[in-house]
Amino acid sequence: MSRDASFAPDLHRRRRQRLLDALGDGLLLLSTAPEQRRNGDVLHEFRPGSDFHFLTGFPEPEAVLAAWRTGRGRHRAVLFVRPRDPAREIWDGPRHGVAGARARFGADEAHPIGELWHRVPDLVAAHDRMFHRLGADAAFDRRLLDAFAAIAQKRRRRQPAAHPTLQDPIPALAALRLRKDAAEIAALRQAAAATVAGHVAAMRAARPGRREYEAQAALEAEFRRHGSPRNGYPSIVASGPNACVLHYHENDRRMRAGDLLLVDAGAEVGGCTADVTRTFPVAGRFTPEQAAVYAVVLRAQLAGIRACRVGAPWNRAHHVCVRELTRGLVALGVLRGDVGRLVAKHAYRPFYMHGTSHWLGRDVHDVGAYDDDRDAPLPLVAGAALTVEPGLYFGPRETRAPARLRGIGVRIEDDVLVTRRGPVVLTAGAPKSIDAIERTCAGR
């Protein structure tokens, strides 16, 4: 009965129907995430597969969904799940079981997972088309190919096609997940609120002499206190020069007075995650150099957020940020020359080497297409959520930057919901101006 259970059978039925209507007639087969071994007999914490959870709300490992349309606006959903097992449940806790899958998750039919491969041949044989992504799970594919072979063998007098027409359902599923529904927007808002609280706690907890992971503990304790069972991704808590390592995860350096601390962390709530970065002074006050760099990144970020409008190319925020950052690099004395020409020759790249935005949702780098068939950026649609996260990074050995800036890394990241009324910053509560940050750091 895990914490990831989402008891909203009507919601999940509506999502499945929308997906199946987009795909057309045929059999959808989709499994949840596999359990992963960590070491010895220790498993990694289990998290349901994002697609599977989106369509079922079912929380347990070893679960498979089969679903197909049965007429206009209707479909049948079959869940294969771990059966109740009193002996195992003493060790692992209660399971929903076959009856629970029907009663609590709205499956029309449910069976023990052990029966999956006995039942798949009949399910497959009843459909001319099948929706399944090959290549994601080799063991599952192997069993499916065996089922195809068995069906063909059984019907060989009719010389049937050896398998149904196979179509990848993931693009349609990704398109569906790109536009967040009301339940996901509510989850994103909760994730954002938990994340904001965590970042405030980190600002209060950081101080010279403490380890980065002590600030991380304060951050994540606040996530948990706000109803987040886990992070959406491993927290980056990077002080001093570590801020220039984009995906720094060691989080064990002892912070020093004069350092900035870059915290990139997001709480997951209801299956959705926030993704927020704040950069603040460990000792509570920005130095003039740090403040100058910070002001450039902040100006770029605010301009980038304004660019997240329905109909605009999704990456307009990136172009806006790159222009602002380049202007700032000239003002800081890092680059010299005409801003337009510097942008055209990517002169900013040694100091800003990543993209500015990505889709956000159940996965921190969420599903959804970015470009059309001709590689042109797709326009933003209402209901999409994305990050805006410019930064400037002057590595400690970056000889192309003036010595006074070396070792400074700043990123500012917020989560934006695209609406017809303009961009809504879900994470606006996290202190961001220099003033607000210094006040929060002082509130320890």
* 411 noted as active-site residue: yes
Q: Is 389 in the site for ligand GLY (CB under 6 A)?
A: yes
275 labelled catalytic: yes
Q: Tell me, yes or no, if 264 is annotated catalytic.
A: yes
Rounded Cα distance between 406 and 223, Å, is: 33
**Residues between 248 and 307 with contacts to ligand GLY, criterion CB under 6 A:** 264, 275
Pick the catalytic residue: 14, 155, 247, 439?
247
Rounded alpha-carbon distances, angstroms, from residue 332 to 177, 290, 411: 41, 11, 17
Q: In terms of CB distance, is 184 or 275 closer to Mn ion? A: 275
Q: How far is the CB of 364 from Mn ion (least distance, A)?
A: 6
Beta carbon nearer to ligand GLY, 364 or 441: 364
184 binds, among Mn ion, ligand GLY, none (CB under 5 to 8 A by kind): none
The least CB distance from residue 191 to ligand GLY, in Å, is 13
- Contacts with ligand GLY, 139-158, as mask; x by CB under 6 A: --------------------
For residue 355, the minimal CB distance to ligand GLY (Å) is 9
Comparison of 265 and 347: residue with beta carbon closer to ligand GLY: 265
Q: 41 an active-site residue?
A: yes
Hey, what amino acid is at 286?
F
Q: What secondary structure letter does DSSP report for 255?
A: P
> 76 catalytic, yes or no?
no
| C-alpha span between 201 and 331 (Å, rounded) | 33
The reply to whether 364 sits near ligand GLY by the rule CB under 6 A is yes
The helix-helix angle for 316-331 and 288-306 (nearest 10°) equals 150
Give yes or no: 413 in active site. Answer: yes
Burial class of residue 202, CB neighbours in 10 A (0-12, 13-18, 19+):
buried
Cβ atoms within 10 Å, residue 259: 25
> Which residues in the 402-431 window bind Mn ion by CB under 5 A?
413
For strand 272-273 and strand 276-281, is the pairing parallel, antiparallel, or unpaired? unpaired
115 is catalytic: no
Element (H, E) at 262: strand 260-265
- Token pair for 240: 């001093």
| CA–CA separation, 414 and 435 (whole Å) | 18
Residue 363 near Mn ion by CB under 5 A: no
Q: Does 366 bind ligand GLY (CB under 6 A)?
A: no
Please give the angle made by the CA atoms of 358, 359 and 363, to the nearest 5 degrees. 110
In SS3 terms, 178-212 reads as HCCCHHHHHHHHHHHHHHHHHHHHHHHHCCCCCEH
Partner from Mn ion, ligand GLY, none binding residue 46, C-beta < 5-8 Å depending on class: none
Question: Does residue 264 interact with Mn ion by CB under 5 A?
Answer: yes
Taking the C-alpha atoms of residue 343 and residue 340, their distance in angstroms, rounded to an integer, is 5
Q: Stretches 69-77, 241-249, 331-339, 379-387: which one binds Mn ion (CB under 5 A)?
A: 379-387
* Residue 263: closest CA among 332, 321, 205, 306: 205
Residue numbers 402-441 binding ligand GLY by CB under 6 A: 413
- By CB under 5 A, is residue 275 in contact with Mn ion? yes
Nearer to Mn ion by Cβ, of 342 and 367: the residue is: 367
Q: For residues 239 and 254, what is the distance between their CA atoms, to the nearest angstrom?
A: 8
Residues that bind Mn ion (CB under 5 A): 264, 275, 387, 413
* Residues catalogued as catalytic: 41, 247, 264, 275, 354, 358, 365, 389, 393, 411, 413
Residues that bind ligand GLY (CB under 6 A): 233, 264, 275, 358, 364, 389, 413
